Chains A and B, each alone.
Chain A
Amino acid sequence: MTPSSDDQPEFSQMLLRMSEMWRSNMEQSEEVGKLWFNSMMPFFTMRAADSSLFAAAQGGEILKTIKRMVEGPHLADMCNLDRQVYALMAAWMDVGQRMAAYHAIASVPWSKAYERYSATLAGTKEGDAKDFGWRKAFDKWRDIANKELISNLRSKDFLAAQRELLLAALDLRTCQQQMTDSVAKLLGVPSQHDFDELTRQFTELRREVRASIRAQRDEVEGAGGVATQPGKG
């Protein structure tokens, strides 16, 4: 039977009241957090899923907000998994924005190709037009489009957009991996990080063993392992 607070000395009663207050505050914080999450998540999800140019333009502020949350100071025992979720969300939205920018630049050569092709058709003489079957027309279109696409692939704008998209995708991948590793830790299963560390140690150990075996073999075979070029250092 749980002793009532009336049976406890005054100091203990105070402690009990404080812990009761703390428990109540935590419950209320949780409720507030859930309310906020439930109201904002559909909005974030919609924005994240929308890879249009409009979204790219509108998503910037939301992305900045989420990033500020992610990059804030870390507390030892709170919100770590939440932080990783928000980081993942931010990375995902970033990819969406970069993808939209990439598509905008990648689509430029198609309109240029269309203009050039139209000029080609306009310049075709009447006599030639009768023999200009669909296949020749397609081949002509393909050549023009290919030249415009290749030219675009070498342009500064494309190179910058490609780089930004690659970096955003790598950030997303890193966030996914961090989350996966956290979940793996919670479940008590090895993570990718564990696997990589194991293979690294194994590879280095194997190198050492093989270098040793080879040195012995070279000594036996009389080669002596003498380098035919001067070694460095």
Chain B
Amino acid sequence: MTEPRKTAFNSILKDFAENVGKFYKGADVLAGIRDEDVDVGTTPKTLVMRRDKVKLFRYEPTVKRTVETPVLIVYSLVGRYTIADLQPDRSLVRSLLAEGVNLWLIEWGKLGRAERWLTMDDYVDDYIHEAVHRICRETGHDKVTLLGICQGGVFTTCYAALHPEKVKNLVLTMTPIDFHADIDDPEPSHGLLNIWTRALAPEDIDRMVDALGVIPGELMSLIFSLMTPMQALTKYNVELFDIAGDKDRLMNFLRMEKWLADRQDHPGAAGRQWLKELYHENRLVEGRFELLGRIVDLRAIDVPVLNIFGLDDHIIPATCSKALGGQIGGTDYTEVPFQGVGHVGVLVSSKSQGKLAKSIVEWLQPRDG
């Protein structure tokens, strides 16, 4: 029997047949998944302290300890920490535990309008300080290593500058320091958040916080979707269609969706500081940022610093993170750029798995004594 001629029409028919098959397979896989199967943040941990909605957890060790100094993960107020523990094979938490790290987590809780008056001062000088104090009491150490993620990295940077006596090492991931350095990033898709914020007047931000009380999680979700327009438009059709037949990829997609949907409100007072004093006025890198009446002087950071960022990060351009290098007082400063990886990709992409935790632990071990 002769092969059919390779024509455009035959090619379309072949594609159509394959796609129909894919559709039915995908529908089958999806039908077998329940919402409770889509579990995130499942690594076992123990509640050690609760302070308002904030909780301090200690993760259960999985192997013999190789890094003794406790490492406290401090996440952002935008989104939940569960992105750092998305699923067993995409989890910074599990990877660090597997490398023998004494790991702790401060969890901000599901924030709402009741938290509208909380400031960055409260988060840095009360919640983080009390967590560090409690960890030291529980472990017998007098210092901890802080691992800050995104805005959590700004919190830990401020804490390290204000309380260097409590900090052993500082690890930052995707952390903005110079909020105007996006102009040095040539990629057009990077730094939209910086541009959009600077397009508002300071009084516009005041109006937003006064009117809404908080920066709503839904608004943040909308903004992040706008920053990747075509991805947002094709996510639930073309892209979902491609992966639906592969259960592992589909579960990864669904877990990301669960994390994306779990977006709490950002306290209004802290949001005002974040947008006006940092995004607008860039006070941190200029040495004018104050918490509780004290200047956050980056030169006071004389502890070892590890600065990790994604070179394809469109939310916190790499140039904004790299700016820390010239600012701190200490000389032990290391950068680990991740190529081809975006903002959350540093934590969950297949390119960074293993490499991220290894980079951190290999850096921590000689600085543990």
Contacts and interface: CB of A to CB of B under 8 A. Distances in A.
| Co-assembled chains A and B | yes
A229 B297 contact: yes
Interface in B124-139: 126
A233 B211 CA distance: 33
Main secondary structure of the interface of B (DSSP, over half): helix
A133 B294 contact: no
Interface residues on B, range: 35 or more
Contacts of B210: 174
Interface stretch (B62-70, B86-94, B187-195): B187-195
Contact of A130 (B8, B227, B295): B8
A98 to B, nearest CB: 14
Interface stretch (A36-44, A116-124, A149-157): A149-157
Contacts of B114: 199
B212 A135 contact: no
A90 interface: no
A162 B196 contact: yes
B204 A196 contact: no
Main secondary structure of the interface of A (DSSP, over half): helix
B234 interface: yes
A138 B15 CA distance: 13
21 contacts: A133-B12, A145-B229, A145-B230, A147-B188, A150-B229, A154-B195, A160-B199, A162-B196, A163-B200, A166-B200, A166-B204, A166-B208, A170-B211, A173-B211, A196-B213, A199-B113, A203-B118, A227-B162, A228-B165, A231-B293, A232-B294
Given A130-B11, A192-B213, 11 more contacts: A134-B12, A146-B229, A147-B188, A170-B212, A173-B211, A174-B211, A195-B113, A199-B116, A229-B297, A232-B293, A232-B294
Interface of B: 6, 8, 11-12, 15, 52, 113-114, 116-118, 122, 126, 161-165, 188-189, 192, 195-196, 199-200, 204, 207-208, 210-213, 226-227, 229-231, 234, 238, 290, 293-295, 297, 300
